[in-house]
Amino acid sequence: MKNENNNENISEANANSLDYSEKKNNPGKILVIFLGIILVVFVSSGMGAIFGFLASKGGAQFLTNFKKEQSETEIVKQKIIQEDSAVIEVVKKSTPAVVSIVITKDVPKIQNFRRFDNFFNPFEFYFGPEDYYSNEDSGETKKQTIGGGTGFFITPDGMIVTNRHVVDDSSADYTIVANDEKEYPAKVLAIDPNNDIAILKIEGENYPILELGDSDAIQIGQTVIAIGNSLGEFSNTVSRGIISGLQRDLTAGNGLRQTEKLNNIIQTDAAINPGNSGGPLLDINGQVIGINVAIAENAQNIGFAIPIEQVKKNIDQVKKTGKISTPYLGVRYVLIDEYLQKENDLPYNYGALVARGNKITDLAVLPGSPADKAGIVENDIILEIEGKKINSGKEKQDLSEIISQYSAGDEITLKIWHKGDEKNIEVKLAERK
């Protein structure tokens, strides 16, 4: 029995000895336990302080501000998502109605052209046919692509709007490439001699069309989307921007030394490139508010579009009669301002002075014209048309712009200064041939 007890005591002693040995040989465990206790105390204290702060007045304000910041961030994100979604929807809806216009022509084999349209811009730079590399003529010709532009359907039966300068070569052929890559020969149906607008026609039916908006209601800063055949190669290229300016006036030119005055047009920073001529400028609802017409070379994102309100009359005329009928008065004139009044001792600082051009053939009044029949002569001043004052100030109203609002055959009243006297005369507008 003693031996057994002794053995038990020895065993217990050995166990205690081993336990003590393990503690002695593993001080890390003690350190871990100690640090754990400190961490628990620290976290408990910190959480207590945080909960105490949040329970206070300052804490409540902090929570309110935090929630407000989070809410505002979510609203901004949501607005961005909504705006992007709106643009995406406009593109999906509108793209099928936008077409590419390919210009081809039989040219001597020695001649070379760039595949850009005669894209107007206000600084006399252009994207038109290159100069011929040689004057030699072998007598052989080949069909060659010499330009490209853009248009869009306005009727389900294939009527298309574009720029006049895209299709002004009567010896060229025009092919419409639809969104599904199908090609159709196009006929130039009508051209506006006063504005850079033309209407084409292809055979077929059930084409998707774009809805025309109200360009008189647009505002600077609103989002716009341009779609076009950029560089004559990248069809249905989409760019997004804002309206940068309204009622801009500029003189645009192309490589053939042709110039054209564009009045009251839209300026945008949406990227517009050669080939976009005739393409739609859309608002966020997908309505056409303008027709892309020009860019400023050597500038950053300065493009221009013709307001759709200037085009609607043409479209209605072509739908009804198959042609564009343009009224004309038949005078050559210069708008009067304070400088012109002072230099020429004129009685008015507004109005249109009937004057000759630089050439002998540039007559002040065209013989047989409505103005000639009404008795208007050189040096007369046209002051008003149907009560609308002609002026060149901030609220500019040009004579030709006012006349364009009427139709051939309309009788209008002009207030003029004629040989020292003011008087009203009746004029019946004629159709420009």
Active site residues per annotation: 165, 196, 277
Report the distance separating Cα 346 and Cα 349, nearest Å: 7
Report the distance separating Cα 153 and Cα 201, nearest Å: 9
In angstroms and rounded to an integer, the radius of gyration of the C-alpha atoms of the chain is 38
- 72 DSSP 8-state letter: H
Compute the C-alpha angle 132/253/260, nearest 5°: 135
Estimate the share of the chain in helix, then strand, then coil, as percent rounded to the nearest 5: 30, 30, 40
CB atoms within 10 A of CB 282: 29
- Residue 162 corresponds to which tokens in the numbers above? 């574009």
Give the DSSP H or E segment for 197. Answer: none
CB 281 within 8 A of CB 291: yes
Q: Which residue has the tokens 């290229």?
A: 237
State the DSSP string of 210-245.
Answer: PPB--GGG--TT-EEEEEEEETTTEEEEEEEEEEEE
With a CB cutoff of 8 Å and minimum separation 6, the contacts of 2 are none
CB 308 within 8 A of CB 212: yes
CB 433 within 8 A of CB 328: no
Report the distance separating Cα 420 and Cα 416, nearest Å: 10
**Identity of residue 373:** K
Q: Which residue has the tokens 């003693």?
A: 2
